[in-house]
Amino acid sequence: MVKVTTKRGTAVENVSDDNFAGQSHYSPKAQERQKKRLQLSGANTTIVTKRGTDKIEAKDIPYVPQSSLKGQKITTKRGTSVKTL
């Protein structure tokens, strides 16, 4: 379960994390769900993007696996420290 703040920050709801829109789209669960949705929609489905000004076919969306972040360095503590993942 995921807690989501709603109604201008005055209420909190519990939402199952299976279909949570705020879930990171980089997570493996979200990527699998997106791949399944594209397969179910069919190859000739048109997807509207860029605030409704552009279109793309579902078959033209490439699958790009995310590389491992192990060993990458990130800055922390307002840019004064470095941490290795």
pLDDT tens string 14-59: 877 665 555 565 677 777 888 888 888 887 888 898 888 999 888 8
Q: Is residue 33 part of a domain?
A: yes
Please provide residue 22's backbone torsions phi and psi, each rounded to the nearest 5 degrees. Answer: -85, 0
In this prediction, residue 23 carries a pLDDT of: 57
Q: Is residue 64 part of a domain?
A: yes
Do residues 36 and 19 lie in contact, with contact meaning Cβ atoms separated by under 8 Å? no
Do residues 54 and 43 lie in contact, with contact meaning Cβ atoms separated by under 8 Å? no
pTM surpassing 0.85? no
Distance CA 16, CA 3 (A): 9
Structural domain range at position 76? 24-84
pLDDT tens string 49-68: 888 899 988 888 887 777 88
Distance CA 2, CA 4 (A): 6
Q: Is residue 19 part of a domain?
A: no
Q: Is residue 73 part of a domain?
A: yes
Please give the tally of structural domains in the chain.
1
pLDDT tens string 1-11: 778 888 888 88
Q: Is residue 14 part of a domain?
A: no
In this prediction, residue 26 carries a pLDDT of: 64
H/E element holding 41?
helix 28-41
Q: Is residue 4 part of a domain?
A: no
